[in-house]
Structure formats: C-alpha cells, structure tokens
Structure 1
Amino acid sequence: MSKIEIAKRLYAAAAAEEWDEFAQWIHPEFVIRESAALPYAGSYQGVDGFRQLVRAVFTHFHRLYAEPGHYMEGEDHVAAIVRLHGTGKRSGRAFETSVLELFRFRDGLVVEILPYYWDPQLIHEL
C-alpha cells in the first residue's frame, strides 16, 4: 500500500472517529506537533494524544471541516494540502484557510505529522 493511501486511511479513520482503525496506521512513537503560533500548540502522542488534540481544536470552533486534497509522496514523507473551513466559536465568523500536513513514515507507519498553517493568526481571531 502506498504512503498516500495510508495518509488517506488515517484521515478517514479520524473523521469517522474510528480509533482502532486510526491506531493501525500509526507507529508506536507517533506524534503530531502543532506550532507554538496556534492556540492548541504542543506535541500530542499516540491515539490518546490525537484525541486530546481534536478536543482542544474543537474548543475554538462550532464547526470545522477538513478536506484533504492534493497529495505529494517522497521517500519517507507524504505532504497533503488540506482545506479547512468552518465557524469560529468566539467570533461566530465563518472562515476558510489551507494547511499543509507533512506525514513522516517509519517502518511503513505514520510516525509524525507536522501541520503548516497558511494563516495561523486567523485561528486566533476566530
């Protein structure tokens, strides 16, 4: 199975909150690192850490939709361009932005995700 297909399965499992499925595609040392520029900054490890991140993110949004689009594959990485749109909880404002998520693989599994936001200030304003 390609690394892109694994990234797609990870997105699908997260969207459906199928955590056993999600766990199949992550390395035991999995971590997602959110930038210090974001209100939910930090490193989140494993399935439980990812679920903690989801809860933290949704404290800032009434609705949030993530639509992965274009994928690029390298030797041990996949980059996915993700369209985010929704409504901020504090402002009530609708928004749309883009994120590039860089997946790093080890032993055929996702070991790290690094999200790069186009406009992190926007997230604070919502």
Structure 2
Amino acid sequence: MKKPPVLGNITPIIPAGGDMEKAIAFYEKLGFTTIYQEGDPVTMAIIKRDCAEIFLQKNDDRRLAEWTTLRIEVDGIEQLYEEFQAQGGQIIHPNGQLQTQPWGMKEFAIIDVAGVCITFFEPEK
C-alpha cells in the first residue's frame, strides 16, 4: 500500500524592495539568518529562522509588496512579541498589536521594509 503524499512547510518568494542589503538587515533584526545570496549586487537571498524560510527577491514594485502578505505560525507568540518590542517598538505595525482574533488565533503583524505584511500567529490554547 502506497503512503499518501504529505505537504510540508511552504517557502514563499516575496518582493524585498530595491535595496537587498536593507531587506536582509531587517530580517536579521527579526532573528533570521541569511543562508544563501545570489548576484553581485544581491538580487535574491534565502533567510531562515527555525522552520520558517523565506526567499527575498529584489523587486522595487511597492504596490506588489503592499499586496503581499504571509502568516507564520509561532510557538511562544508572547515571547516573540516581546522580543520584537524590545527592539524599539518600531517593528510592530501600529494596527497589528498582539491580540486574540475571533477565529481563535493570537496574533500580531509587522510590515517589512518593502511593504510586505507578515502576521505571526499562535492558536489559542
């Protein structure tokens, strides 16, 4: 009997703006590590923190970035929120403070340097 396929982690490719060094520095401030860079100057980078992996693609179309959003599941959302707040509070989106949503997720949001919205979430226990 064949084993059914199982989907794993998703690795999005997101617009990083026109300044890749600035984008990479932003994600490194969030605790991500750059595991790969391509081009000179850099046009693509892969960043990773724990199981979350994101491809940053040089693209200075602000409209595309502002319409790009992703969600990252977290174990320990309060601790991550505090970690990001400790960096001056500028990382958390003003409308994205930590709160429990009606659909049962505790979450907060950030906007990266290109305009991409990232929501970190944890199911309520």
TM over 0.5: no
- After TM superposition, the score normalised by the length of structure 2 is 0.25
- The structure that is strand-richer by fraction is 1
- After TM superposition, the score normalised by the length of structure 1 is 0.25
